[in-house]
Amino acid sequence: MSIKFILSVVLIAVAAFYMVKNVKLAIITFCVAALGAIVNYAGGLVSSFIPVTIFNAVVIALGLVGFAYYFNGKLKEESIEGQPSNLLTLVEFFTETVNGLVVSTMGEKNLMFAPYIFTLFIFLIISNIVGVIGVSSPTANYSVTLSLALITFVTSQYFGIKTAGIGGYLKGFFQPIPLLAPLNIIGEIANPVSLSFRLFGNILSGGLIMTLIATAFGTLTAAIAPALNIYFDLFSGILQAFIFTMLTMVFIAGSIND
Amino acid sequence: MLQGISNEAFVLGCSAIGAGLAMIAGMGPGIGQGFAAGKGAEAVGRQPEAEGDITRTMLLGQAVAETTGIYSLVVAIILLFVQPLLGAL
């Protein structure tokens, strides 16, 4: 962690303050940037034991668990009388959106997957856009995306066996003619590979392009980077998180409904 | 002409050329995604009330069409940063 980084954090906070004249937002921006700096510093300390990206993934997962506990406790104190609070409205909005998405993609009877889908989505969004505050994205490490894709793969295979029975599951590979069995097996294995490579390639290439720009423009980077950050980190990150969760739902629903 | 070039330098240079060639595959997904986006725009023009569903389907299809481009990107990144061919020397 260099002086330059701390300076940029302060500059971001000041700029945000002057742009919106909003003390609260400026403080939040500052806190988020400071959090990024702290995580970066801690990642540097442990980098001799585990890769920084894995450390960031663990930190994000633990942070999300902490958030979940905190808001769960807060939600239980909510009263059902009177106007619902902001937090309740927000949580309700998220829950209903995700439930609607799961029902429209996987069908009414597969609503039990909604918690996992939402967890995956939130984790991927945070992991992908965390590059904005200078922390290296966990999803730029292939082991993270491969393990997430393997969860999808194992889940879809398990539910495929559960719904069709082991005989029906094996028979599915010999459809429509037995000659195509190797192709079917390869097609089944290609799903997690393409799923993980897509996320990994997108996030890694975004980070690489940002690094190339930073080395090419030197001190001018601060003027050019924000617009590119919006595209490569925010837009691409959220889009890829959405696509990963959508494809997860499609794969699992495909193995259940067949 | 090749007199003063060491083996490592030759392999690294060829790897860089290979990485550049691999990225030619970026053309395919570009054409495919543009085609999908055009069809999506057509569909929205014909049925503006279904814009949400159309956009979601289009993005999903584009993500799948992007796979080949991502494969070429991964090949290029491996050639440039992992340098597996140096081990064969």
pLDDT at A1: 47
**Closest alpha carbon within chain B to A240:** B63
Q: Nearest CA to B31 among B75, B56, B68?
A: B68
Alpha carbon of B13: minimum distance to chain A alpha carbons (Å): 19
Percentage of residues in chain A with pLDDT exceeding 90? 21
Residue A2: band (very low, low, confident or very high) from pLDDT cuts 50, 70, 90: low
- Average pLDDT in the A70-99 region? 83
Higher pLDDT, B17 or A79: B17
pLDDT average, residue stretch A226-252: 87
Q: DSSP per residue over chain A, as a string? A: --HHHHHHHHHHHHHHHHHH--HHHHHHHHHHHHHHHHHHHHHHHHTTTS-HHHHHHHHHHHHHHHHHHHHHHHHHT--SSSSPPHHHHHHHHHHHHHHHHHHHHH-GGGGGGHHHHHHHHHHHHHHHHGGGGTPPPGGGSHHHHHHHHHHHHHHHHHHHHHHHHHHHHHHHTT-S-GGGHHHHHHHHHHHHHHHHHHHHHHHHHHHHHHHHHHHHHGGGHHHHHHHHHIIIIIIHHHHHHHHHHHHHHHHHHHHHH-
Nearest to A201 among B56, B60, B74 (CB): B74
Is residue A238 pLDDT above 70, yes or no? yes
pLDDT bin (cut points 50, 70, 90) of residue A96 is very high
Q: What is the C-alpha separation between A244 and A124, in angstroms, rounded?
A: 8
- pLDDT band, residue A35 (cuts 50/70/90): confident
- Contact list in A for residue B73 (CB cut-off 8 A) is 201, 205
Residue A235 predicted with pLDDT over 80: yes
Residue to substitute from B23, B54, B62, B74, interface A, most A β-carbons within 10 A: B74
Residues 7-66 of B with CB under 8 A from A: 56, 59-60, 63-64, 66
Task: Please report which confidence band the pLDDT of residue A39 belongs to, taking 50, 70 and 90 as the band edges.
Answer: confident
Contact B60 A201 (CB under 8 A): no
The pLDDT-based confidence of A4 (bands split at 50, 70, 90) is: low
CA distances from B26 to A85, B20, B23 (A): 49, 11, 5
State the smallest CA–CA distance between residue B52 and chain A in angstroms.
12
Higher pLDDT, A17 or A160: A160
Q: What is the per-residue pLDDT for A167? A: 86
pLDDT (average), residues A47-74? 89
The residue-averaged pLDDT of A237-248 equals 91
The mean per-residue pLDDT over the stretch A41-58 comes to: 86
Q: What is the mean pLDDT of chain A?
A: 84
Q: Would you list which residues of chain A are within 8 Å, Cβ to Cβ, of chain B?
A: 194, 197-198, 200-202, 204-205, 208, 239-240, 242-243, 246-247, 250
Q: What is the pLDDT of residue A134?
A: 76
For an interface test with A, give the residue of B53, B55, B67 to mutate (most A CBs within 10 A): B67
Tens of each residue's pLDDT in chain B, 89 residues = 677 888 888 899 999 999 999 999 989 999 999 999 999 999 999 999 988 889 888 988 888 888 888 889 889 988 988 888 888 87
Cross-chain residue pair B60–A246, CB shorter than 8 Å = yes
Residue B13: φ, ψ to 5°: -65, -45
Beta-carbon separation of B67 and A194 below 8 A: yes
Taking CB atoms and an 8 Å cut-off, how many pairs form between chains A and B? Answer: 34
ipTM comes to: 0.77
Over the stretch A170-205, which tens digit does the pLDDT of each residue have? 888 887 788 888 888 888 888 898 899 989 988 988
Burial of B61 (0-12, 13-18, 19+ CB in 10 A): middle
Which residue in A102, A145, A205 has the most chain B C-beta atoms within 10 A of its own C-beta, making it the best mutation to test that interface?
A205
CA–CA dist A90, A74 (Å, integer): 13
SS (H, E, C) A29-83: HHHHHHHHHHHHHHHHHHCCCCCHHHHHHHHHHHHHHHHHHHHHHHHHCCCCCCC
pTM, rounded to two decimals? 0.83
For B14, which DSSP code?
Answer: H
